[in-house]
Amino acid sequence: MDSLEEKIRTIAKDVYGELGSGQSEVYQKAMEVGLRLERISFESQKVIELQYKAHYVGEEYLDLLVTAESERLVVELKAVLGVSLPEEQQLRNYLNHLGIQRGLLINFPQPSSSKKKPTEPGKLEPEFRSVSGKAALDVSSQTDSSAPASTAL
Protein backbone atom coordinates (compact mmCIF):
# COMPACT_ATOMS: atom_id res chain seq x y z
CA MET A 1 0.00 0.00 0.00
CA ASP A 2 1.35 3.41 -0.96
CA SER A 3 1.86 5.92 1.80
CA LEU A 4 -0.12 9.14 1.73
CA GLU A 5 3.00 11.11 0.80
CA GLU A 6 3.75 8.77 -2.13
CA LYS A 7 0.19 9.19 -3.42
CA ILE A 8 0.46 12.98 -3.23
CA ARG A 9 3.82 12.90 -5.02
CA THR A 10 2.28 10.80 -7.79
CA ILE A 11 -0.60 13.26 -8.19
CA ALA A 12 1.81 16.22 -8.31
CA LYS A 13 3.94 14.53 -10.98
CA ASP A 14 0.83 13.87 -13.04
CA VAL A 15 -0.40 17.47 -12.63
CA TYR A 16 2.95 18.97 -13.62
CA GLY A 17 3.47 16.51 -16.46
CA GLU A 18 0.12 17.41 -17.96
CA LEU A 19 -0.01 21.16 -17.26
CA GLY A 20 3.69 21.99 -17.57
CA SER A 21 5.35 25.09 -16.19
CA GLY A 22 3.96 28.60 -16.23
CA GLN A 23 0.56 27.61 -14.77
CA SER A 24 1.09 28.87 -11.23
CA GLU A 25 -2.55 29.83 -10.71
CA VAL A 26 -3.99 26.37 -11.44
CA TYR A 27 -1.70 23.86 -9.70
CA GLN A 28 -3.71 24.06 -6.46
CA LYS A 29 -7.03 23.36 -8.22
CA ALA A 30 -5.46 20.55 -10.25
CA MET A 31 -4.05 18.97 -7.06
CA GLU A 32 -7.52 19.18 -5.51
CA VAL A 33 -9.01 17.39 -8.53
CA GLY A 34 -6.32 14.70 -8.30
CA LEU A 35 -6.98 14.18 -4.59
CA ARG A 36 -10.74 13.95 -5.20
CA LEU A 37 -10.24 11.42 -8.00
CA GLU A 38 -8.11 9.32 -5.63
CA ARG A 39 -10.76 9.73 -2.90
CA ILE A 40 -8.28 11.33 -0.52
CA SER A 41 -9.79 13.72 2.03
CA PHE A 42 -8.37 17.24 2.24
CA GLU A 43 -9.06 20.77 3.40
CA SER A 44 -8.08 23.56 1.04
CA GLN A 45 -6.80 26.98 2.16
CA LYS A 46 -7.16 26.10 5.85
CA VAL A 47 -7.03 29.23 8.00
CA ILE A 48 -4.36 29.36 10.68
CA GLU A 49 -5.06 32.10 13.20
CA LEU A 50 -1.95 33.86 14.50
CA GLN A 51 -1.82 35.26 18.01
CA TYR A 52 0.60 37.32 20.01
CA LYS A 53 0.14 37.27 23.79
CA ALA A 54 -3.33 35.75 23.35
CA HIS A 55 -4.38 38.50 20.90
CA TYR A 56 -5.35 37.88 17.30
CA VAL A 57 -2.76 39.49 15.02
CA GLY A 58 -3.55 37.91 11.67
CA GLU A 59 -3.99 34.72 9.77
CA GLU A 60 -2.27 32.57 7.21
CA TYR A 61 -3.67 30.00 4.83
CA LEU A 62 -2.05 26.64 4.26
CA ASP A 63 -2.62 25.16 0.82
CA LEU A 64 -3.78 21.64 1.68
CA LEU A 65 -4.32 19.62 4.83
CA VAL A 66 -4.58 16.03 3.58
CA THR A 67 -6.00 13.21 5.70
CA ALA A 68 -6.11 9.46 5.07
CA GLU A 69 -6.97 7.07 7.88
CA SER A 70 -4.82 8.20 10.83
CA GLU A 71 -2.30 10.07 8.68
CA ARG A 72 -2.34 13.87 8.38
CA LEU A 73 -0.02 15.77 6.07
CA VAL A 74 0.26 19.50 5.37
CA VAL A 75 1.02 20.16 1.70
CA GLU A 76 2.39 23.54 0.68
CA LEU A 77 2.51 24.31 -3.05
CA LYS A 78 4.95 26.69 -4.72
CA ALA A 79 5.59 27.69 -8.32
CA VAL A 80 9.03 29.31 -8.25
CA LEU A 81 12.48 28.75 -9.75
CA GLY A 82 13.52 26.82 -6.64
CA VAL A 83 12.60 26.50 -2.98
CA SER A 84 14.89 27.40 -0.10
CA LEU A 85 14.88 27.69 3.68
CA PRO A 86 12.16 30.39 3.96
CA GLU A 87 9.63 28.14 2.20
CA GLU A 88 10.61 25.21 4.41
CA GLN A 89 10.30 27.36 7.53
CA GLN A 90 6.84 28.55 6.47
CA LEU A 91 5.72 24.92 6.25
CA ARG A 92 7.43 24.06 9.55
CA ASN A 93 5.51 26.94 11.21
CA TYR A 94 2.22 25.50 9.92
CA LEU A 95 3.15 22.03 11.20
CA ASN A 96 4.09 23.30 14.65
CA HIS A 97 0.99 25.49 14.94
CA LEU A 98 -1.31 22.57 14.06
CA GLY A 99 0.64 19.91 16.00
CA ILE A 100 1.24 17.85 12.85
CA GLN A 101 4.51 15.96 12.47
CA ARG A 102 4.98 15.86 8.68
CA GLY A 103 4.58 18.12 5.71
CA LEU A 104 5.39 18.07 2.03
CA LEU A 105 6.63 21.09 0.13
CA ILE A 106 5.96 20.75 -3.59
CA ASN A 107 7.47 23.15 -6.10
CA PHE A 108 6.30 23.25 -9.70
CA PRO A 109 9.43 24.92 -11.18
CA GLN A 110 8.81 27.86 -13.46
CA PRO A 111 10.75 28.94 -16.54
CA SER A 112 13.90 30.93 -15.92
CA SER A 113 15.39 33.62 -18.08
CA SER A 114 18.35 31.36 -18.88
CA LYS A 115 18.80 30.06 -22.39
CA LYS A 116 18.54 26.40 -21.41
CA LYS A 117 16.75 24.11 -23.82
CA PRO A 118 13.10 23.80 -22.67
CA THR A 119 12.07 20.51 -21.14
CA GLU A 120 9.81 18.39 -23.30
CA PRO A 121 6.20 18.07 -22.08
CA GLY A 122 5.70 14.89 -20.08
CA LYS A 123 9.29 14.99 -18.77
CA LEU A 124 8.70 17.78 -16.27
CA GLU A 125 9.25 16.90 -12.63
CA PRO A 126 8.11 18.83 -9.58
CA GLU A 127 10.53 19.34 -6.71
CA PHE A 128 9.65 17.68 -3.38
CA ARG A 129 10.87 18.33 0.15
CA SER A 130 9.64 16.45 3.18
CA VAL A 131 9.57 18.69 6.24
CA SER A 132 9.16 17.71 9.90
CA GLY A 133 7.52 19.79 12.59
CA LYS A 134 8.84 20.58 16.05
CA ALA A 135 12.37 21.09 14.70
CA ALA A 136 14.13 24.29 15.66
CA LEU A 137 15.66 25.95 12.64
CA ASP A 138 18.82 27.93 13.27
CA VAL A 139 18.68 30.78 10.82
CA SER A 140 21.45 32.75 12.53
CA SER A 141 23.94 31.21 10.10
CA GLN A 142 22.04 32.53 7.08
CA THR A 143 23.57 35.25 4.93
CA ASP A 144 20.72 37.70 5.50
CA SER A 145 21.63 39.22 8.85
CA SER A 146 18.50 41.40 8.81
CA ALA A 147 16.29 38.30 9.16
CA PRO A 148 14.94 37.53 12.64
CA ALA A 149 16.84 34.88 14.59
CA SER A 150 13.81 32.59 14.56
CA THR A 151 10.45 32.69 12.84
CA ALA A 152 8.89 29.67 14.53
CA LEU A 153 5.45 30.27 16.02
Domain of residue 128, CATH code: 3.40.1350
Helix (H) or strand (E) holding 70: none
**How many domains, in total, are found in the chain?**
1
Distance CA 85, CA 139 (A): 9
Could you list the residue range(s) of the whole structural domain that residue 106 is in? 4-132
Tell whether 32 is covered by a domain: yes
Q: What pLDDT is recorded for position 136?
A: 43
Tell whether 151 is covered by a domain: no
Tell whether 123 is covered by a domain: yes
Tell whether 72 is covered by a domain: yes
- For residue 78, the SS3 value is strand
Tell whether 20 is covered by a domain: yes
Tell whether 114 is covered by a domain: yes
pTM for the full predicted model: 0.77
Q: What pLDDT is recorded for position 81?
A: 85
How far is CA 68 from its chain centroid?
A: 18
**Is the predicted pLDDT of residue 105 greater than 90, yes or no?**
yes
Tell whether 55 is covered by a domain: yes
